Every structure is written in C-alpha cells, then in structure tokens.
Amino acid sequence: MAAVAGVTTRRSRLTPEREAELYEAVLDLLREVGYEALTMDAVASRTRSSKATLYRQWGSKPELVVMALRHHKPISTADVDTGSLRGDFHALVGRQDDCRMAEDAALMRGIAMEMKSNPDLHRAFRELLIEPEITGLGQVLRRAVERGEVEADRPALDFVVHMMVGAYVARQMIDGASVDRDFLLRYLDAVVLPALGA
C-alpha cells in the first residue's frame, strides 16, 4: 500500500500483491456495473489509491481493464482425461465452483456491450477468457475423435464454445438465474453431447 499512497515519483512500482488487489477490484467493478459505468474514480476509491497513480501506471481505462482481464486466471483443462467425452465434460464442470461460474457470467455481461466498439477489449477478452476454453476443449474433443466417440467431420465440433457461451449468457437472460453446475451438466447432456453425436 505504501508504494501507492502519496506517490511523487513517476513509474513507482507496485508490489505484485498490490497489483493483484487492484486488478481484482477492477474485475469486481466490471461485474457490478459494467465497462461503460466503470470509472477511474470508482477504482481509486475502492482501492484507496489516487487517480493520478492509476493513470500513471496504466495510462487509460481500457488499458487497466485489459490488464485486469489478463490477470484473471482461466481454469486449467490440461489434466482432464477420464477416458470418455462425457466423463471429461463432467470433470471440467465439476472442478468449477458455482460462485466462479456466476462471476464469469457477470464478467461476460459487463463487457459484452463494449466489445464491438472496443477492439482492444475484444482481443483481450478473446485471448484471456475464450482462447483458453477453445484450447482446453479442443484437447478434450480431439481425444474424443481419436477414440472414435465423435466423427472427425461432425459439424457441431465447430460450435462447442458457442454452445457453452450460450449456456452461460442465456441462463440469466431467459431463466433469470445464474448458471451453476447443475444447469451446465443438464445442458451438456441434453445439448452438447447429442449435437456431437456422442
């Protein structure tokens, strides 16, 4: 905290802990009020730092938000390998907690509006929240194809991430409820696995 309060030198370094704290506050605000309504004032006030510090360290709101997203650790899919596609999907869902899922859904809503008009934000969102999902799911799906569970040219293979994002976003829109493990497991069994013919 001392590194931030009353800064007089340019480019003062924040401790990694303090930086993480700031990024968490930015993500919390994104979930609560969305990108548009997130102000540097609100970040400064919530983190008890000065606006001058924020601007000195990150230059602008888009940069700060992109760095906060970059800091957000996606859940690793690398070591899931149960021997069946359904087992892998259920293991992936099983290791997420409901709270984290609701947070990620809130994050998607918080920046959804901005993505079309803000290419940097869209790129950061893609790289940090979507690409890891694509990579992780890609491994799971590749093994399913190798085992002969899914045909290699099954058209639904191109839309697995679309189906999953749909589950996250539509749950709130249609049912007015947060996505949770129970919903995702039902959706996987009812939609994703049958679409893949598995």
Instruction: Based on the shown chain and the rule CB under 8 A, indicate whether residue 16 belongs to the binding site for a second copy.
Output: no
| 86: CB partners within 8 A, 6+ apart | 188, 189, 193, 198
In the complex, minimum distance from the CB of residue 11 to a second copy, in angstroms, rounded to a whole number: 32
Residue 63 · residue 70 · CB < 8 Å:
no
Sign of the CA dihedral running 151, 146, 160, 134: negative
Between residue 27 and residue 46, which ones bind a second copy under the rule CB under 8 A? 33-34, 36-37
Q: Which helix (H) or strand (E) holds 142?
A: helix 131-146
# of chain residues touching a second copy (CB under 8 A): 43
Instruction: Based on the shown chain and the rule CB under 8 A, indicate whether residue 89 belongs to the binding site for a second copy.
Output: no
Residue 129 tokens read as: 């929240």
Instruction: Based on the shown chain and the rule CB under 8 A, indicate whether residue 171 belongs to the binding site for a second copy.
Output: yes
Segment contacting a second copy by CB under 8 A, of 2-10, 20-28, 141-149, 163-171: 163-171
Query: What DSSP string runs through 42-63?
Result: HHHHHHT--HHHHHHHHSSHHH
The site for a second copy (CB under 8 A) is made up of 33-34, 36-37, 106, 108-110, 112-113, 115-116, 122, 125-126, 130, 155-156, 158-159, 161-163, 165-167, 169-174, 176, 186-187, 189-192, 194-197
